[in-house]
């Protein structure tokens, strides 16, 4: 056992990807069971699977921790129930206002159970295990990163709007399917509910706690931010396989995978850049990720080529202005330092 722990401690990134795929792909059958065959009792497995990156980071950090446990247990459990309550409200709001799912005691009870993995990941920021608490601390800290959080909130929508504008200008006439929805209090409410749902389920809590929270700092201890972003994107795309398959996406065509790699490489570089600027903040990475998905849900894309072009140019600017091909200094807060 000690030899295995020593190997994990020396190969944390490789172990992270192995455990992440073991959790998500190992439970991948649950996506099709729920989305295609309406086996809703398997919904809790879907949530565990989608929290794979975050759970992998927590498991590896706990295994490799060398310090004694600190603090009272009640702090973790208070955080767990607060996170559980907030997550439940967000989930219920999404069911009522976005998905229009008829509520029943069975449906509510099922969703209350399914959010346990999300509440666990959030509460782990208050873990008695020092390494886990330090690893997830930036998930719950807004102080010092407020400006970057606001930038992450508006950056993706701005890029989508620019892409939409370019599409309109080249077409030289307004295209009805590309027109933006009329701004209203109802729309603002729907956008807010969608954003919060994306943030909790699972862009920040399930994914960014793993991809940018755990893997990125360790990759950047040996590689540049650009290389780290590309490595994460390499695994980030196939990690979605069973979800996309269950949704009916053409996962057996090379064009689909090419498009997904183009999208996710650009998104990975963008999120890595802003995460590093925010001193490795998981919260900022999660906000940016959730804003990307929320913008895609409400802002018409039109011709996808203009969206790819807009993001590609933006990413190139970030790479060259910030010289992302150069390694960060060892004392940078977004670089892992072994204890």
Give φ, ψ of 326 to 5 degrees: -100, 140
Per-residue pLDDT for 6 more than 50? Answer: yes
- ∠ CA(317), CA(322), CA(328), 5° rounding? 145
User: Are 118 and 87 within 8 A, CB to CB?
Assistant: yes
Q: In this predicted model, which residue has the larger pLDDT, 251 or 307?
A: 251
Cis peptide before 39 (omega within 30 of 0): no
Q: CA 263, CA 141: separation in Å to the nearest integer?
A: 29
pLDDT of 171 reads 64
Indicate the average pLDDT of the chain.
93
Residue 90 reports pLDDT greater than 60: yes
- 287, pLDDT greater than 50: yes
User: At 167, is the pLDDT very low, low, confident or very high (cuts 50, 70, 90)?
Assistant: confident
pLDDT value at 35 more than 70: yes
Angle, CA of 201, 205 and 206, to the nearest 5° = 75
Contact 59, 136 (CB under 8 A): no
The reported pLDDT for the residue numbered 173 is 52
Instruction: Check residues 217 and 102 and name the one with the higher pLDDT.
Output: 217
Average pLDDT rounded to a whole number, residues 117-129: 98
Provide mean pLDDT across the span 216-224.
98
- pLDDT number for residue 339: 62
Cα gap 92→112, rounded to integer Å? 9
pLDDT at 95 over 80: yes
Confidence band (pLDDT; 50, 70, 90) for 177?
very low
- The predicted pLDDT at position 179 comes to 59
């Amino acid at each position: 056992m000690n030899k295995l722990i020593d190997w994990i401690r020396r190969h944390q990134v490789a172990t992270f990807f192995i455990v992440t795929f073991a959790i998500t792909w190992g439970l991948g059958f649950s996506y099709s069971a729920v989305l295609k065959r309406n086996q809703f009792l398997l919904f809790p497995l879907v949530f565990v699977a989608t929290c794979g990156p975050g759970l992998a980071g927590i498991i590896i950090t706990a295994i490799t921790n060398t310090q004694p446990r600190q603090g009272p247990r009640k702090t973790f459990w208070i955080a767990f129930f607060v996170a559980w309550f907030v997550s439940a409200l967000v989930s219920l709001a999404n069911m009522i206002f976005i998905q229009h799912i008829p509520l029943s005691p069975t449906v509510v009870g099922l969703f209350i159970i399914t959010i346990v993995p999300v509440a666990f990941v959030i509460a782990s920021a208050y873990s008695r295990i020092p390494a886990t608490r330090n690893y997830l601390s930036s998930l719950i800290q807004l102080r010092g990163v407020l400006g970057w959080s606001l930038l992450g909130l508006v950056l993706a929508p701005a890029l989508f709007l620019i892409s939409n504008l370019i599409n309109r200008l080249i077409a030289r006439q307004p295209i009805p399917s590309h027109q933006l929805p009329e701004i209203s209090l109802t729309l603002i409410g729907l956008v807010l509910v969608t954003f919060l749902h994306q943030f909790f389920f699972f862009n920040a809590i399930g994914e960014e706690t793993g991809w940018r929270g755990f893997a990125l700092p360790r990759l950047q201890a040996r590689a540049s931010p650009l290389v780290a972003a590309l490595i994460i994107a390499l695994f980030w795309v196939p990690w979605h396989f069973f979800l996309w398959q269950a949704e009916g996406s053409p996962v057996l065509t090379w064009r689909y995978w090419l498009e997904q790699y183009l999208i996710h490489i650009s998104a990975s570089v963008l999120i890595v850049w802003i995460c590093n600027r925010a001193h490795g903040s998981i919260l900022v990475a999660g906000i940016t990720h959730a804003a990307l998905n929320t913008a895609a849900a409400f802002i018409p894309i039109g011709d996808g080529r203009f969206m790819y072009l807009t993001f590609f140019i933006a990413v190139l600017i970030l790479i060259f202005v910030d010289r992302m091909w150069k390694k960060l200094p060892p004392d940078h807060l977004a670089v892992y330092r072994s204890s």
